[in-house]
Structure 1
Amino acid sequence: ENKNNRQNVYKFIIQLTGILVGAILLGFVLLVLAYMLPTERMRQNVAVTAEQINTEGQYYQWAKGYKNAQTDTYTDASLLLNAMYPGSGSAVRDAMNAPRLLYGDDNNEVSVVLLANGDTGETHEVCYGRYWHGSLILLKPLLLLFDLGDIRMISMIIQMGLLFVVIMGFCRRQLYKELTGFFGAIITLNPVTMIFGWCFSIEYVLMLLMTAILLYFHEELQKGYNYYLYFLINGILFVYFNELSFPMIGFAIPLIVYLLLSKEKVKEKIKKEVVFGMLWGVGYAVVWLGKWILAWIFTGYNYFKEAIEQAERYTSDHATWEVENPTLIDRLVKNINMYMKWPFLMMAIVLLGIICVSMIRKHAKITGEKLVAALPYLLVCLLPFAIFTVLGNGYSYVHYWFTHRLLAISVFAGITMLFTITGTKENHT
Structure 2
Amino acid sequence: MKRTVVQKAFHSVFFILAGSIVGLLALLLVFCLPLEPMRLHVWQSLYLLEDEFGDSEMISGYPATLTGNFTDCLMLENAVYQNEEHSLLEQVLYMYRKESGQGDGWAAGDSLVDYLEGVQQPREVEYARYWHGYLVVLKPLLAVTTLGSIRIGASALQLALAGFVCLECAARKRKMLGAAFLLSLPFLYYVTLYTSLSLSICYYIMCGAVLVQLGLHKKMESRGWYWEFFLLLGMVTAYFDFLTYPLVTLGFPLCVYLYLSSDKPKAAFVKALAFILSWMIGYGGFWAMKWVMTDLLVGGNVILDGWNTLLARTETAQDQNILSGFLSVLKQNLSVYDNWGFYLPAVGIALWLFGLLAGCRKGFRMDSVKYMLPFLLPALLPFIWIFFTQNHSGQHWIYTCKIFAVSVFALICAFGKGIENYVRTD
What range describes the TM-score normalised by the shorter chain of this pair? over 0.9
CA separation in 1, counterparts of 2:42 and 2:297? 30
Does the aligned pair in 1 maintain the 2:166–2:182 contact within 8 Å? no
3-state DSSP of counterpart to 2:353: helix
2:60 aligned partner: 64
Report how far residue 58 of structure 1 moved: 5.3
Tell me: CA distance 1:202–1:376, structure 2 relative to 1, closer, same or farther (3 Å). Answer: same
Instruction: Report the residue type matching 2:406 in the other structure.
Output: I
Structure 1 residue 39 and structure 2 residue 35: aligned?
Answer: yes
1:302 aligned partner: 301
2:49 aligned partner: 53
CA separation in 2, counterparts of 1:232 and 1:424? 30
Report how far residue 362 of structure 1 moved: 1.9
1:258 aligned partner: 257
2:378 aligned partner: 380
CA separation in 1, counterparts of 2:359 and 2:129? 54
Tell me: CA distance 1:367–1:281, structure 2 relative to 1, closer, same or farther (3 Å). Answer: same
Tell me: CA distance 1:333–1:364, structure 2 relative to 1, closer, same or farther (3 Å). Answer: farther
2:110 aligned partner: 110
Report how far residue 113 of structure 1 moved: 2.1
| Pairing 1:318-357 to 2, within 5 Å after superposition | 318-319=317-318, 327-357=325-355
Report how far residue 243 of structure 1 moved: 0.5
Structure 1 residue 400 and structure 2 residue 374: aligned?
Answer: no
CA separation in 2, counterparts of 1:425 and 1:412? 20
Tell me: CA distance 1:337–1:425, structure 2 relative to 1, closer, same or farther (3 Å). Answer: farther
1:145 aligned partner: 144
Instruction: Report the residue type matching 1:230 in the other structure.
Output: F
Does the aligned pair in 1 maintain the 2:368–2:422 contact within 8 Å? no
Does the aligned pair in 2 maintain the 1:210–1:254 contact within 8 Å? yes
| Aligned partner of 2:368 among 360, 370, 382 | 370
Instruction: Report the residue type matching 2:341 in the other structure.
Output: P
CA separation in 1, counterparts of 2:70 and 2:196? 10
CA separation in 2, counterparts of 1:78 and 1:165? 32
CA separation in 2, counterparts of 1:296 and 1:376? 42
Structure 1 residue 130 and structure 2 residue 91: aligned?
Answer: no
Instruction: Give me the identity figure in percent.
Output: 26
Structure 1 residue 19 and structure 2 residue 18: aligned?
Answer: no
Q: Which moved more, 1:56-65 or 1:357-366?
A: 357-366
Does the aligned pair in 1 maintain the 2:258–2:268 contact within 8 Å? yes
Instruction: Report the residue type matching 1:54 in the other structure.
Output: E
- Deviation readout 1:106-149 (Å, 9 max, x if unpaired): 21112222222x23323411101011010011111111111111
Report how far residue 342 of structure 1 moved: 0.6
| Number of residue pairs the alignment of both structures matches | 420
3-state DSSP of counterpart to 1:232: helix
Does the aligned pair in 2 maintain the 1:419–1:425 contact within 8 Å? no
- Deviation readout 1:237-264 (Å, 9 max, x if unpaired): 1110010011110111011111111121
Tell me: CA distance 1:5–1:199, structure 2 relative to 1, closer, same or farther (3 Å). Answer: closer
Does the aligned pair in 2 maintain the 1:366–1:423 contact within 8 Å? no
Tell me: CA distance 1:324–1:266, structure 2 relative to 1, closer, same or farther (3 Å). Answer: closer
3-state DSSP of counterpart to 1:56: coil
Report how far residue 93 of structure 1 moved: 0.3
Tell me: CA distance 1:244–1:426, structure 2 relative to 1, closer, same or farther (3 Å). Answer: farther
CA separation in 2, counterparts of 1:355 and 1:341? 22
- Deviation readout 1:42-101 (Å, 9 max, x if unpaired): 111111111001111156111111122112211111111111112344110011001111
Q: Which moved more, 1:30-39 or 1:365-374?
A: 365-374
Q: Which moved more, 1:118-127 or 1:374-383?
A: 118-127
3-state DSSP of counterpart to 2:342: helix
3-state DSSP of counterpart to 1:125: strand
Q: Which moved more, 1:57-66 or 1:307-316?
A: 57-66
3-state DSSP of counterpart to 1:210: helix
- Deviation readout 1:216-251 (Å, 9 max, x if unpaired): 111221232212211111111111001001111011
3-state DSSP of counterpart to 1:222: helix
Report how far residue 158 of structure 1 moved: 1.9
3-state DSSP of counterpart to 2:132: coil
Tell me: CA distance 1:216–1:287, structure 2 relative to 1, closer, same or farther (3 Å). Answer: same
3-state DSSP of counterpart to 2:179: helix
CA separation in 1, counterparts of 2:60 and 2:302? 38
Does the aligned pair in 2 maintain the 1:249–1:406 contact within 8 Å? yes
CA separation in 1, counterparts of 2:365 and 2:66? 43
Does the aligned pair in 1 maintain the 2:114–2:121 contact within 8 Å? no
1:417 aligned partner: 414
Tell me the TM-score normalized by structure 2: 0.92
Report how far residue 298 of structure 1 moved: 2.4
3-state DSSP of counterpart to 2:151: helix
CA separation in 2, counterparts of 1:266 and 1:345? 32
Does the aligned pair in 1 maintain the 2:317–2:326 contact within 8 Å? no
Does the aligned pair in 2 maintain the 1:50–1:113 contact within 8 Å? yes
1:311 aligned partner: 310
CA separation in 2, counterparts of 1:398 and 1:103? 23
Does the aligned pair in 2 maintain the 1:169–1:212 contact within 8 Å? yes
- Structure 2 unpaired stretches of 5+: none
- Structure 1 unpaired stretches of 5+: none
CA separation in 1, counterparts of 2:389 and 2:17? 28
Report how far residue 420 of structure 1 moved: 4.7
Instruction: Report the residue type matching 1:410 in the other structure.
Output: S
Q: Which moved more, 1:35-44 or 1:186-195?
A: 35-44
Q: Indicate the RMSD between aligned Cα atoms, in angstroms.
A: 2.3
